[in-house]
Structure 1
């Protein structure tokens, strides 16, 4: 994809070398995003208890994991990202950390499911608003030649946090039972305990860098107009959303519901499932990053701008057999193997998405562009668990693992199809543009 950027009136050069403060800032942002994402893993482990407390159906739980967890959060994150494009990104981030901690506490004490749903949706706003801001800051902190590495490093820290919510879910519940004196259900205590992580993050956030927005010397001026940018790049943006959105729909059909599906299908205990999914999530989310980096470097020399959509399409096709095998697995170990394989190939594809979007979007619109992308893709993400939960209720008589597979496979096929069109479009653009030759260097 060709790079289209907007030059600020006072353009700052892209940093040539790392600074210690830039490294520490990216590390802090990764840890903070990881801790925020860990509440999703913890909630996935606690779904059975939450469902029992509020006496709701699988479809309602699917809506919680999709609509509240993804769609609502990413929608409201768009105006916050617009604010970050105009004001201090550091101040906005500190405000989001404080809001996340407060909303976690409110969710933990919600007396009814509608209030719990609202609290989790509002908490999702803070998480989804933070990630676009961070990805808008990384090109201003990292030297250009290390930008992919910085993106992957941030993703690794975020993935470690997400997996920790799975892996340490049982330990968090046990610690919360011992430390929280309130006479409330254990899952509520666990959420209260996790919310306390916001306090040290707020203090450390005061010392991170707030970098100026930087633009390349050959940046094209769009006048700061999001509409002008979208009109100029509508086809590339549409294909990008088709590839990433469909892929995320398949991933989210599995990821937030898999703990409940395995517990129900195989009668497994919460602790072993949580530990296994924590390890699987960590290994696949982090293990895919060097693979993605290697494939990007290797294939970009040959295919130029077409390399990244090519990688995504190939990974989407590779994930289809693993999703299909979930229908016929006969024990939990084989199911976990299929889940791990599915997540590894889909995570490999998704690892390059932030870099692709940074290449595509203007510097002064970057936070908004990431937030809007997150919202559009979150529609696909919300569809995944909602369809899987509804299929389980209405057609498959509670066979949630089969419903996950039936939902994921068509989404993967659609993603691969959009990727192929994106490869062809990027190849044509590379042949007719100097940017195509530059991408191979």
Structure 2
């Protein structure tokens, strides 16, 4: 939920900023990052497997777009909200263990779906475990490491997730090749190679489940004692009071989400089709791009934030969102005009780096402003609202490819991304121009 509570940040020399290093909490954050990264690798693998899935089920680009957008994002994020509510009431460690076990089981089972409707449904249920885990982790991090290490822990967790997502792209082609080799050699019979690749990935969940038993389950912060019915803990009351700031933030974040998701899950299929490129090579290139742009954007965003906050104060973060979205528009517009796969990949790299910088500090901004007793639920509701925009990206790019672009997915991605980025620039620009709105909303920490 894009809602906030006014808070006063601690000065650097405040007592909460001192104290011993919370090694158990840091170790738990690292484990959770590896676990979430493994889950996110499933999304990269699915993007790489899209040509094989499309061929196996004989479905259109629009159906593949709906698989990534509606099943993988929108439905999954909606069902994750009640699970996050449980995490606000019961042990977050137990919730995480259940989610890891469910992801392991469902990843393997979804590979066995005999037709596209069942596969679509299985992917939607599987996505719930991925979407539900991230709000629980961001709820845990402040209690695991305290104020002193919170920003670094957030960025480290995001970096490990990004590494996992890029690994799904980078290693997806190799994993598919290995699985096809096992099938061709008769080592594994009665299953297609792309299905076996999913089963092999699901096996990674077993050691993670065992390691999860040793993670720390900290008590909740002091704000847990607040009554949910108090005005400062009421999401509905805050939404009514700060509707303008919330809408501006959602417009900026939502526009960026549409543009990014119009590209990321569809780009492997687009490059293979347009340039008849090798799937393994495309996967390696995309994996490297995702890793470099995501990891590079995190320290860059942190440095830019520290620099600009001294000068621009409340205008800084919406200004960064506006500039990042504006600079990425030419990259998206030129994508359909690329004459080679290398040109297209260079444009993808620039586009992802700019949009990643624009979005890097959103989790920290949410943590600053949300009460501890509602934190996991708020992250889940916010994730659902953004997921509604994310789902539009691949759905629209697939539909435009089928109906308007004659199967030119690269052109379709640009057609969808450019107006979405323009909306993001407008909303973020208005927020930076009138920062008081966001002081009452989400984007000011």
Q: Same fold (TM over 0.5)?
A: yes
Q: Which runs of 5+ in 1 are unaligned?
A: 6-12
Q: Which residue of 1 aligns with 2:189?
A: 182
Q: Is the 1:4–1:362 contact (alpha carbons within 8 Å) kept by the matching residues of 2?
A: no
> What SS does the aligned partner of 1:46 have?
helix
- For structure 2, the 5+ residue unaligned runs are 8-14
Matched residue, 2:287 = 278
Cα distance change on mapping 1:223 and 1:411 into 2, 3 Å: closer
Equivalent position to 1:209, from 187, 204, 216: 216
Matches within 5 A, 1:16-165: 16-17=18-19, 18-165=21-168
**Structure 1 segment 409-420 matched on structure 2, within 5 A:** 409-420=418-429
- Asked if the contact 1:16–1:143 (Cα under 8 Å) also holds between the matched residues in 2, the reply is no
* Per-residue Cα deviation, 1:24-58 (whole angstroms, up to 9, x for no partner): 01001100000000011001001000000000000
Aligned pairs (5 A) from 1:153-302: 153-177=156-180, 181-215=188-222, 222=231, 224-302=233-311
Please list the CA deviations of residues 35-82 of structure 1 after superposition, one character each: whole Å capped at 9, or x if unmatched.
000011001001000000000000001100100110011000000001
SS in 2 for 1:315: helix
Deviation, structure 1 residue 237: 2.3
The answer to whether the Cα contact below 8 Å between 1:304 and 1:427 also exists between their aligned partners in 2 is no
* Structure 2 Cα separation of the partners of residues 133 and 57 of structure 1: 35
Please provide the CA RMSD for this pair: 2.4
Q: TM-score, normalised by structure 2?
A: 0.91
1:272 Cα shift? 0.7
Per-residue displacement from partner, 1:196-249 (whole Å, max 9, x unpaired)?
Answer: 1110111111111112221479x9953643323323433332222111111010
The change in CA–CA distance for 1:86 and 1:266 in structure 2 (over 3 A counts) is same
CA distance in 2, matches of 1:188, 1:305: 49
Structure 2: distance between partners of 1:400 and 1:174: 25
Q: Which moved more, 1:34-43 or 1:146-155?
A: 146-155
* Cα distance per residue 1:362-400 (max 9 Å; x no partner): 221111111111111111111111111101101111011
Label 1:362 to 1:236 Cα distance change in 2 as closer, same or farther (>3 A). Answer: farther
Count, aligned residues: 428
Asked if structure 1 preserves the Cα contact closer than 8 Å seen for 2:315 and 2:435, the reply is yes
Shift of 1:320: 0.3
**Structure 2 vs 1, CA of residues 52 and 351 (structure 1 numbering), >3 Å: closer, same or farther?**
same
Distance 1:278 1:428 in 2: 38
Paired with 1:162 and 1:261, the residues of 2 have a C-alpha distance of 19
What is the TM-score normalised by the length of structure 1? 0.92
C-alpha distance after superposition, 1:275-332 (max 9, x if no partner): 1001011000111111001011111111222211111111000100111111211001
CA–CA distance in structure 2, aligned partners of residues 359 and 169 of structure 1: 37
